[in-house]
Amino acid sequence: MPNMSIKKTILSGLSDRQKEAVTHTEGPLLLIAGPGSGKTRVMAHRVAYLVAVKKIPTNNILAVTFTNKAARELKERCERLVSYQKEFLQVRTFHGFCSRILRFEGENIGLSRDFSIFDEDDQKKVIKRSFEDENIDIKQHSPGKIISVISKLKNSIISPEKFSNEVTNFSEEIISRIFSRYQDILLKSNAVDFDDLLLKTFHIFDDNKYILDKYSDLYRYIQIDEFQDTNPLQFRVTKLLSDQNRNLCVVGDPDQSIYSWRYADPTNLTEFKKSFPESTTITLDQSYRSTQNILNAANSLINNNSARSDKNLWTNNGSGGKLILYETNSEEDEARIVLNEIKRLNQSENIPLDEIAIMYRVNAQSRSFEVICNRLAIRYRLIGGVKFYDRQEVKDILAYLRLVSNKSDDTALLRIINTPRRGISDRTVSEITRLAREEGRTIFEIISLIKEEKIKTNLIPRAIKSISEFIELVNNIFEVSNQMDITDLINYIIDKTEYRSYLRRDEEKSITRLENINELIASSDQYIGLDSDVQLSSFLENLALVSSVDFLETGDQIDSNSEELTLITLHQAKGLEYKVVFLVGCEDGLLPHMMSIGDIEALEEERRICYVGITRAKSHLYFSYSTTRMFRGSFGGQILSRFITEIPEHLIVRKRNMGYSNFHMPENSVSYNKDKLDLKTQKNSRSEKLIFLTGSKVKHDIFGEGIVMKNFGEDGEVLFSNFGIKKLMWNYAPIILLEDQNEINFIDPEIDSA
């Protein structure tokens, strides 16, 4: 095919701005891509353009995404567009790319090629071991918080030594000791955590110019997706790698930056412009996903944020219907109303359940919806359960494989040393761990010495016998591992350890667990075509690099032919789309989350989270909230999310239902029964005694509208949309009850008979 014909094919069907982004191949490019603007399509066509039109060899192109799912999708799209040497095109996650660098270059920093990658569960075990080694009471500290602090230090490029020199208090002293011991254990285990993948790659590039030059020459064209979700360390790695050629394209949207807890920094987009002042910026603001009413709501909401680019989403999809807001009496009512509407959409409008999603801010909100789904016989899938590769039986088999790959992996060894049970007690494990620490050796080395009677120990003969049998088992697996493909090796380990028999002892869960083992075996088939010496390492690496945001891959595998409603958190919904979206629990304290109120930056991120939820919807968008909710163990009144009030009223149809369920209000809670509460008789001058029941809606001269959270008689607490909780004296505060708090349209939902 002539070059012009190829070019025409690649650019066919693209908008003018999309074409501009695809053909801008030389020099730095910042692509601001709004939700539904076709950014994945642009990225795929851009790679195809480089290969087919610019004749850039595929091995000179590096495309970086944030999830393995996104990487596969991009690679598949490229393959559909143009024929090329597929095996040479590098489409990887950030961690996957860094892992590859370390496999080849890690020896420069004392890391052998067969290193293990520790996940969160492994990290916690190493942290607990660190506490034991340092003789510190772990009960006084949270392993999860310690891991979080260490992660933050690593992403700030702070070493244990540097942190130790900056300690200012006792708490930091404890963290410093644990951090240092934690890294020692990783080093001796020939292992890294996810933060190390980035940090060690940075150090290799920063400290070894010849290595940096080698990879800069190799990857002359770099393209990075979801750049707003990169952290400062990822940005520094990117800058080092692209500084020479400057052919760097970053794609992102600051309005969709919602991972600050993972140290994502949306200001990296600003830093990009500073680091590459010659860069071109192209904004994709045409949405191919949503109707204009949905986009208008999203635009109005996000315009309240200060830290954002100038972007206004538009579409040719038509205005679409108005957005629906349900006000309900309780979370049970909320679930019933939402799910009855879903049932109607499915049965009357023929909208498949798998085109509908219920989205919420907090995982715990799924409970009431799961209950009603079961009552109404609505099939659903809950996103965010125990991930496949986090399941006990799967991690056990993977631990055997990790030990085969890396004998220094103490964490893997400790996991399976008595799994299945083989008479090795906790006391025995403590003794060999102590010896390993004192001798400065790995646990595998210690138990080998014990078997060979080359080291003194306090162990009884029975314990030594059990250890000897274990080491013989492991050595046998070592011996055969080089003679088998990965699938046969897994089967051999399962048979040799009698793992299936071990699972069958638990009659209640054995079937599910055996199915998971079979699924693991099946997943290894794709690696059989590789050279035998890299099958195991490739298999383990790819599994280790499955990111936490790849929830659809790592969670329960869903039958693509099944029709199920999706229950999902707003964070997990990023990158997905549905015809119908129900954004539930739209209350101050939930969305925005209570922890963000009073913090401008945190509040803006919460607004971005809401923006992400809104822009998942194609044609139907619903909001719902409850005026009362059990939250954090206490029952109280709730106020409509300030984010919903930021959406123009003409875009929303408000519908209200009270008393729909048999739910009984606790004593002293607000009642909306007009026979019990005559609001008009309670609006008095300040000289008269006012009655402020919990849940009453009020207006303050300074603080604006709010809802009474607690009433102590003469005073109480009020939650205000923009000022948080205030304690007020009823007889002196410039405050009135709102007359119109019940003047909302009622709905008459169909009551289920289930």
HEC-encoded secondary structure of 417-434: CCCCCCCCCHHHHHHHHH
Residue 458: CA atoms inside 13 Å, Cβ hemisphere, count?
Answer: 9
Of 89 and 45, which is predicted with more confidence?
Answer: 45
pLDDT in tens, 186-229: 999 999 999 999 999 999 999 999 999 999 999 999 999 999 98
**Dihedral angle computed from the Cα positions of residues 644, 648, 653 and 658, in that order, rounded to the nearest 10 degrees:** 40
Backbone torsions φ then ψ of 15, nearest 5 degrees:
-75, 170
pLDDT value for 752: 33
Provide mean pLDDT across the span 336-359: 96
Provide mean pLDDT across the span 731-749: 54
pLDDT value for 386: 57
Provide mean pLDDT across the span 280-287: 96
Helix axes 392-405, 510-523, angle to 10 degrees: 40
pLDDT for 672 beyond 50: no
Q: Band of the pLDDT at 750, cuts 50, 70, 90? A: very low
Q: What span, in angstroms and rounded, lies between the C-alpha atoms of 152 and 173?
A: 16
Q: What span, in angstroms and rounded, lies between the C-alpha atoms of 478 and 489?
A: 10
Q: Band of the pLDDT at 19, cuts 50, 70, 90? A: very high
Do residues 119 and 544 lie in contact, with contact meaning Cβ atoms separated by under 8 Å? yes
Do residues 457 and 464 lie in contact, with contact meaning Cβ atoms separated by under 8 Å? yes
Q: What span, in angstroms and rounded, lies between the C-alpha atoms of 82 and 67?
A: 23
Give, in degrees to the nearest 5, the angle at Cα 196 between 195 and 201.
Answer: 115
Of 739 and 490, which is predicted with more confidence?
Answer: 490
pLDDT for 497 beyond 80: yes
pLDDT for 54 beyond 90: yes
Name the nearest CA neighbour of 406 among 122, 616, 695.
122
Q: What span, in angstroms and rounded, lies between the C-alpha atoms of 719 and 648?
A: 23
Neighbours of 611 (CB within 10 A): 24
Query: Percent of the chain having pLDDT more than 90?
Result: 56
pLDDT for 720 beyond 90: no
pLDDT for 738 beyond 50: yes
Quote the DSSP letter at residue 558: P
pLDDT for 658 beyond 60: no
Least confident of 56-60, 275-279, 386-390: 386-390
- Name residues whose C-beta falls within 8 Å of residue 443's C-beta, 6 or more positions apart in sequence: 410, 413, 414, 432, 433, 436
Do residues 517 and 504 lie in contact, with contact meaning Cβ atoms separated by under 8 Å? no
Do residues 220 and 50 lie in contact, with contact meaning Cβ atoms separated by under 8 Å? no
Provide mean pLDDT across the span 295-302: 97
Neighbours of 467 (CB within 10 A): 25
pLDDT in tens, 362-376: 887 888 898 899 888
pLDDT for 560 beyond 80: no
Provide mean pLDDT across the span 260-283: 88
Least confident of 180-194, 342-356, 525-539, 580-594: 525-539
Written as one letter, the residue type at 646 is E
pLDDT value for 665: 33
Provide mean pLDDT across the span 740-747: 36
Helix (H, G, I), strand (E, B) or coil at 315: coil
The radius of gyration computed from the CA coordinates of the chain, to the nearest angstrom, equals 29
Backbone torsions φ then ψ of 364, nearest 5 degrees:
-60, -20
pLDDT value for 540: 87
pLDDT value for 630: 66
Query: Percent of the chain having pLDDT more than 70?
Result: 87
Q: What span, in angstroms and rounded, lies between the C-alpha atoms of 467 and 470?
A: 5
Distances from the Cα of 430 to the Cα of 168, 250, 400, 416, angstroms: 33, 50, 20, 15
pLDDT value for 745: 33
Mean pLDDT estimate for the chain: 85
Count, residues in the chain: 754
Quote the DSSP letter at residue 663: P
Residue that has been written with the tokens 């002196």 in this structure: 732
pLDDT value for 425: 93
pLDDT for 673 beyond 70: no
Q: Band of the pLDDT at 332, cuts 50, 70, 90? A: confident
Active site residues: 39-40, 225-226, 256, 616
**Which tokens sit at 255?**
């309005």
Beta bridge partners of 631: 634
Q: Band of the pLDDT at 690, cuts 50, 70, 90? A: low
Provide mean pLDDT across the span 46-62: 93
Q: Band of the pLDDT at 403, cuts 50, 70, 90? A: very high
Backbone torsions φ then ψ of 283, nearest 5 degrees:
-110, 125
pLDDT value for 559: 42
Written as one letter, the residue type at 445 is E
Neighbours of 228 (CB within 10 A): 23
pLDDT value for 698: 82
Provide mean pLDDT across the span 678-707: 60
Distance, first Cα to last Cα, the chain? 62
Q: What span, in angstroms and rounded, lies between the C-alpha atoms of 243 and 231?
A: 18
Of 169 and 728, which is predicted with more confidence?
Answer: 169
pLDDT for 609 beyond 70: yes
pLDDT value for 674: 32
**Which tokens sit at 137?**
């009471």
pLDDT value for 260: 83
Beta strands in 146-212, from DSSP E residues, in sequence order: 191-193
